[in-house]
Structure 1
Amino acid sequence: MEVIQKASEWKEMVDPALESKAGEFHLMGYEKATGEDIWKCLVQKVWKRDPDMRLYEVVSDIFHLSTNIYLSYLTVNAYKDDDLMASIAALTGEDAREN
């Protein structure tokens, strides 16, 4: 019997795969990658909504997630960060309130 449900409903079941993918990213030098970040990346960049999926499709998408897509997700979220100007100021040593 094939079970099809919303991608979000599979999250708890695929946590080991998410942690495995985070471990893979750690080995590639992305040490701050987490299973939760990878899940959010899939939801926002790969699935775009909450599609009906089979378990093997969700797991396949997790293991096929490329670092390019993940880094794109992180970059876009950094730009959305409310504290972006403060982050830039901290990096450059400037006072964010001067601008």
Structure 2
Amino acid sequence: MPPWKRWYKTARWQQLRIRVFQRDTFTCQSAECGRLEGNTALLVCDHKVPHRGDERLFWDETNLQTLCKSCHDTIKQREEQSTLHQRGVWH
């Protein structure tokens, strides 16, 4: 397991995640959605710029946004998949 995967299990991440949700008023930041969600289990603290193990990007609060799980699992993943060729990943 890459070391960065463990960062998601830390108290530091849990606190940062809640701070981002509060900053974004528990509202999905996707332009297509904007859904208010009180159940934090249905929210994702998403990295705007994928960190790819870069600790600076991982912990940068300005690089984080609140997305509802639905937007994260569809829109955001589609965006990331569409840039694979630009990153030199050819799967």
Higher percent of residues as helix: 1
Task: Please classify the TM superposition score into its range, dividing by the shorter chain length.
Answer: 0.3 to 0.5
Q: Which structure has the highest strand share of the two? A: 2
Query: Which is higher, the Rg of structure 1 or of structure 2?
Result: 1
TM-score by length of 1: 0.35
